[in-house]
Amino acid sequence: MKGRLRPARAGLADLVPYDAREPRVAVNLAANENPANLPHEVLAHLAEKLPKFEFNRYPDPMANALRAQIAEANGLDAGNVLVGNGGDELIFNLMVAWGGPGRTLLNLPPTFAMYEIDARVTGTNVVDIPRRSSDFAVDEAAVIERLKQGDIDLVMISHPNNPTGNLQPETFLIDVLEATDALVLVDEAYFEFSRHTMRPHMARHPNLVILRTFSKAFSLAGLRVGYLLAHEDVVTELTKVRQPYSVDRFSQWVAGVVFRERVVFENEIQELIRQRDVIEHGLGQISGIEVFRSEANFILFRVERAAAVWRDLLHSHDILVRDLSRVPGLEDCLRVSVGSPKENKRFLAAVSEIMTSRRGADLFGMTDTDEHDPAVIQEGPLD
């Protein structure tokens, strides 16, 4: 009937909008951010040049200066690099170009939630091969066998995997590339912490795409800059579906400065790796907690009645971590980002206090509840 709004397409009916709101807390260890701001020397350079920055001009649509920097550092041509509004935009572009109705994504849950979310938004079919519950390793034989059917168009592999933190064996990733002509995304968002990359295999495998970001190690989560490395034919196809001017002029400039000066981040990255070990060791000393080894800047751990622990951390200690306890395959799991030494010490002390109090309560037959705070958004994409 005229004068009334026509409904959105039916495929969106069951989708719940992602709301990334987080409460203001003293210690936020939920989003895998670098706890430190940009280094002083980078901030000083930006401050010196800022008065001459042309905010009134549109950005380079392809971020060519930044592309050239990234290409040179990786021994590639600029045509092998594409810059996006964070890794999220690039994942969505890949789904638009290689997914869609009649196309199929091979997914390895539990993993980065945006793979499946973008698949549903674009009408892409999803085939899940769940990871092992004991250690979150991929069922390698099942993946290779499924690829042999020849109907998979896109494979997305988080490496290290978010939120579990584990790497996939390089031999397995090579087997995947050789078993299919599907586009294979190896998501290296945490490459600077794992120091493992599939970059050496690009020349032999034109179906390999590598995704990286400035949001984690390089303290630019607030500006949203990501990039991918791929065969020039892949980049050409992606330029057909990407939004113009998706990476603003300011973000391109700051990312370019950060990338040029990336060596100054090395000490901070090494400190975060050391602090990751501190958290892993500290959690491992607390009775009732199972810790999973991580190659990223976060740690996944399992604890009975995890939602109650999450709630106690938030309300009693003003500490926010990521509650994953209702995600299939991650029951009773929480994920903590590596923060500053002071934040990590406060987190470990809080968990120890909570678990000690819980053991005391259990002795007297008292129980806590697993109700989630309805005022806090806890589920959605795993940052």
- How do residues 23-74 score in pLDDT, each as one tens digit? 789 999 999 999 999 999 999 999 999 999 999 999 999 999 999 999 999 9
- Is residue 21 situated within a structural domain? no
Domain count, the chain: 2
Query: Do residues 151 and 249 share a domain?
Result: yes
Q: What is the CATH number of the domain that holds 330?
A: 3.90.1150.10
pLDDT over 90 percentage in the chain: 86
What integer pLDDT is reported at residue 20 of this predicted model? 65
List pLDDT tens digits, range 264-281: 999 999 999 999 999 999
- Is residue 14 situated within a structural domain? no
287-307 average pLDDT score: 97
The answer, as to whether pTM is greater than 0.75, is yes
Alpha-carbon span 155 to 108, nearest angstrom: 9
Are 351 and 83 in contact by the 8 Å Cβ rule? The answer is no
- Is residue 371 situated within a structural domain? no
pLDDT band, residue 188 (cuts 50/70/90): very high
Query: Do residues 168 and 61 share a domain?
Result: yes
Whether residue 368 is predicted with pLDDT greater than 70 in this model: the reply is: no
Query: Do residues 134 and 192 share a domain?
Result: yes
Q: What is the CATH number of the domain that holds 52?
A: 3.40.640.10
3-state helix, strand, coil in the chain (%, to 5): 40, 15, 45
Whether residue 253 is predicted with pLDDT greater than 70 in this model: the reply is: yes
Whether residue 374 is predicted with pLDDT greater than 50 in this model: the reply is: no
- Is residue 322 situated within a structural domain? yes
Query: Do residues 100 and 58 share a domain?
Result: yes
Query: Do residues 75 and 148 share a domain?
Result: yes
pLDDT, the chain, mean: 92
146-159 average pLDDT score: 97
Query: Do residues 293 and 347 share a domain?
Result: yes
E strand or H helix at 208: strand 208-213
Query: Do residues 243 and 324 share a domain?
Result: no
Closest to 289 in 3D by CA, of 306, 275, 276, 277? 306
- Is residue 6 situated within a structural domain? no
Alpha-carbon span 253 to 258, nearest angstrom: 9
Are 31 and 23 in contact by the 8 Å Cβ rule? The answer is no
Query: Do residues 259 and 209 share a domain?
Result: yes
Query: Do residues 229 and 324 share a domain?
Result: no
Backbone angles phi, psi at 272, to 5 degrees: -65, -40
Alpha-carbon span 164 to 327, nearest angstrom: 12
What integer pLDDT is reported at residue 91 of this predicted model? 98
pLDDT band, residue 380 (cuts 50/70/90): very low
Domain limit, last residue, from 242, 263, 284 = 263
DSSP 366: -
List pLDDT tens digits, range 327-347: 999 999 999 999 999 999 999
**What is the extent of the structural domain holding 282?**
26-35+266-363
- Is residue 259 situated within a structural domain? yes
List pLDDT tens digits, range 114-127: 999 999 999 999 99
Query: Do residues 61 and 100 share a domain?
Result: yes
Alpha-carbon span 372 to 366, nearest angstrom: 19
Query: Do residues 141 and 46 share a domain?
Result: yes
> Which residue has 């579990």 as its token pair?
164
Query: Do residues 31 and 55 share a domain?
Result: no
- Is residue 374 situated within a structural domain? no
The H helix count followed by the E strand count for the chain is 12, 13
List pLDDT tens digits, range 191-229: 999 999 999 999 999 999 999 999 999 999 999 999 999
pLDDT band, residue 15 (cuts 50/70/90): confident
